[in-house]
Structure 1
Amino acid sequence: MVFLTQTGVGFVGNLSLLCLYNFTLLTGSHFRPTDLILNQVVLANSIVLFAKGVPQTLAALGWRHFLDDTRCKLVFYFYRVSTGVSFSTLCLFNGFQALKLNPRICRWITLKIRSLRFIGFCCFLCWALHLLINSFLPLIVKGPLNKENLSVDGDHGYCSWEVPERHSTLYTVLYFSPDLLSLVLMAWASGSIVLVLHRHRQQVQHIHSRVLYPPPSHEARATRTILILVSSFVVFYSVYTVLTIWMTLAPSRGQWVMNSSVLVSSCFPALSPFVLIISDTRVSRFLSYCRARTRCAS
């Protein structure tokens, strides 16, 4: 029930944002250049929930052999690709916001981020790189455990994997290096954003002191959203990494470790869309409009 609830709630949140971003992209109404990046984030999150949440829910309900060897390879491949794209595009969103607040970092890129074509190329590059980097996964992912393949290294209940010992270091580097690189870039961008905003606040502090409750600017709202997303990503990913290492190294692990790992890995894709929904002023304006129409109709 926990897996089912998490997957269902996450699907609703991501689908709502997909409708919003695609509507603004097609119509141009209240469109923001970063909508294209966030559209890729929620699209990747939806694939993560579908590839991880649905199979794990069925496995928790007792269905152990609903995927064969080929489907296991596809599920794990697209799960890992979409996870990497989600992290990379969030890092891209974070970096673009840092460049907007501090254009002196790189003036050429600062001019380019206003171009929808350049942003689309960056999103395409994220997908292409992760499709290429994770191409080794179909080689190590196997079907469900049976009496003939009990010597595999890992078991997800419905699929398993086996890493050749001579290539274990290479596979480990390929598996974790994209996420670690995203973490480093996120930390740099977040630190730059906090530093720039701190300096800006000191410069205009005398202006804000004349106003009792100054309204937050669009940059401040976007920055607050980014910092919340990055903080939650770091927390969930750190816990997931610890559980993954535990499952890999521990000689005997309980099923609760596996379930906890899956639950934590799906928390960010399931919860992050609601952070974006709450912080998006277009959503609040739309809800206010609907309430006003309802009152007029009544």
Structure 2
Amino acid sequence: MGNRGCSSPNCKIQLGNIPFNLIFDTVAGIGISANTFVLLFYISTILLDHKTKLHDLITCHLAFVHIVMLLIPVEFFFPDMFQSLNFLNDFKCKALFYTQKVMRGLSICTTCLLSILQVITISPSTSWMAKFKHKFTHYRILGLFGFFWSINLSFSSDMIIYAVAYSNTTQKNLLNISKYCSLSPMNVILRGLFLTLSLSRDITFVGLMLLSSAYMVILLCRHQRRLQYLHSTSFSTRASPEKRATQSILLLVSCFVFMYSLEIILSSSTSMLWVFGPVIFSVYRFVVNVYATVSPLLLIRSDKRIITILQKF
């Protein structure tokens, strides 16, 4: 209905299918609510509990990143609200695209850190991974957060250059992303540089995720065989919280890798064809939102403290 009688190129990127919008808005709403709950819970835990777990700190950071990720597309959902703001359109577009790319990178890095920490946590004392247990401190985790922010702020700076407000006057070959924002054609050298930086980051952290996940599977299999051999009910009960947390991290990584693969396919096809139609835009929005929405639900599932609180209500 919104496209009727519209001849502007802007119409090509509007989502006229209300059920699609409803689905995406619902997913984003659930994700924001779940991540906000996780963030507030772990902030209160960190402030009130003098024995804060490292997992709590990392999960808190991941929830914050995902809240920002899910809030960024508000420009796509409510363009009229952004149109009424007094900021320049170019500034708004650059800020939106830059923040979205930074948050996406932080999501990759933080998920990787969470999976590595879980491997170190469940590793037996005789394992070579055990020596890292005492090296992971709160200060080092905060230092890693600073490192993650610095590399992602740097690697995403191309969005400051190439994100522009849409104009139907003199600019040509724009990749239309939303009603008001587009990407201008990139310099080949700079485009290759930023692509190399982003791919090197993604390959490194996703590779570490996969390696840590494979090691967790091996440890779980060994643990299961040991339980079958010992037939110890008390041992099985005592180890179940760690096992449940490990399974949740494995599901988290699997969900991320699957959604990341779909995102890479969509991004690659868009970059090669320089086309971003409404269907691709709809699928891309869904793929980007799914992991940020599912991750807090998996983390809630693995934390007995949260489950206990929810059961009281």
Aligned to 1:125: 147
Q: Which moved more, 1:281-290 or 1:14-23?
A: 281-290
Task: Tell me the residue number matched to 2:157.
Answer: 135
Q: What displacement does 1:276 show?
A: 1.1
CA distance in 1, matches of 2:38, 2:129: 31
Q: Distance in 1 between matches of 2:106 and 2:113?
A: 10
**CA separation of 1:46/1:251 partners in 2, compared to 1, >3 Å: closer, same or farther?**
closer
Which region of structure 1 is more displaced relative to structure 2, 118-127 or 11-20?
A: 118-127
Change (3 A) 1:36 1:225: same
Aligned 8 A contact 2:102 2:156 in 1: yes
Alignment CA distance shift 1:190-1:288 (3 Å):
same
Task: For 1:65 and 1:152, locate their aligned partners in 2 and report how far apart those are by CA, in whole Å.
Answer: 24
**Deviation, structure 1 residue 64:** 7.7
After TM superposition, the runs of 4+ consecutive aligned structure 1 residues lying more than 6 A away are 61-67
1:89 equivalenced with 2:110 (yes/no): yes
Structure 2 residue 191 is the aligned partner of structure 1 residue 168: yes
Change (3 A) 1:171 1:124: closer
- Distance in 2, Cα, partners of 1:177 & 1:154: 27
Equivalent position of 2:255 in the other structure: 232
In structure 2, C-alpha distance between the alignment counterparts of 1:69 and 1:99, rounded to whole Å? 45
Answering whether residue 76 of structure 2 is matched by residue 56 of structure 1, we say: yes
Asked if structure 1 preserves the Cα contact closer than 8 Å seen for 2:66 and 2:103, the reply is yes
**Cα distance between partner residues in 2 of 1:232 and 1:89:** 14
Give the superposed CA RMSD.
2.5
Aligned partners of 1:253 and 1:91: how far apart in 2?
30
Q: Secondary structure at the match of 1:160?
A: strand
User: Partners of 2:311 and 2:277 in 1: how far apart?
Assistant: 49
In 1, the alpha carbon distance for the partners of 2:169 and 2:81 equals 18
Once the two structures are aligned, what percentage of the paired residues are identical?
Answer: 26
Alignment partner for residue 35 of structure 2, among 14, 17, 32? 14
The letter for the 1-side match of 2:78 is: L
Write the letter of the residue equivalent to 2:148. Answer: C
For residues 156 and 97 of structure 1, the distance between their equivalents in structure 2, rounded to whole angstroms, comes to 39
Once the two structures are superposed, what CA deviation does each residue of 1:65-106 show, in whole Å capped at 9, x if it has no partner?
977001111111111111111111110010111122236334
2:203 corresponds to which residue? 180
CA 1:280–1:92: 2 relative to 1, 3 Å: same
Q: Which residue of structure 1 lines up, in the alignment, with residue 9 of structure 2?
A: none
Q: Over residues 181-203 of structure 1, what are the superposed CA-to-partner deviations in whole Å (9 max), with x where a residue is unaligned?
A: 22101001111111122222223
Match of 2:226 in 1: 203
Separation (CA, whole Å) in 2 of partners of 1:251 and 1:37: 37
- Write the distance in 2 (CA, Å) between the matches of 1:203 and 1:185: 27
Separation in 2 of the partners of 1:62 and 1:18?
27
- Over 3 Å counting, the alpha-carbon distance change for 1:157 and 1:185 in structure 2 is farther
The CA distance in 1 between the partners of 2:50 and 2:300, in whole Å, is 17
- Match runs of 1:254-265 below 5 Å: 254-265=277-288
Asked whether the equivalents of residues 18 and 42 of structure 1 are also in contact (C-alpha less than 8 Å), the reply is: yes
* Residues paired across the two proteins, number: 286
For residues 113 and 84 of structure 2, what CA distance do their matches in structure 1 show? 38
Deviates more, 1:248-257 or 1:40-49: 248-257
CA distance change for structure 1 residues 201 and 244 in 2, over 3 Å: closer, same or farther? same
Give TM-score scaled by structure 1 length. Answer: 0.87
Conserved 8 A contact 1:77-1:137: yes
Aligned to 2:133, which of 110, 116, 141?
Answer: 110
**TM-score by structure 2 length?**
0.83
Question: Distance in 2 between the 1:156 and 1:38 partners?
Answer: 31
Alpha-carbon distance between aligned partners in 1 of 2:51 and 2:34, rounded to the nearest angstrom: 20
Match of residue 151 from structure 1: 173
Conservation of the 8 A alpha-carbon contact between 2:93 and 2:181: yes
CA distance in 1, matches of 2:131, 2:232: 37
Q: Distance in 1 between matches of 2:119 and 2:174?
A: 44
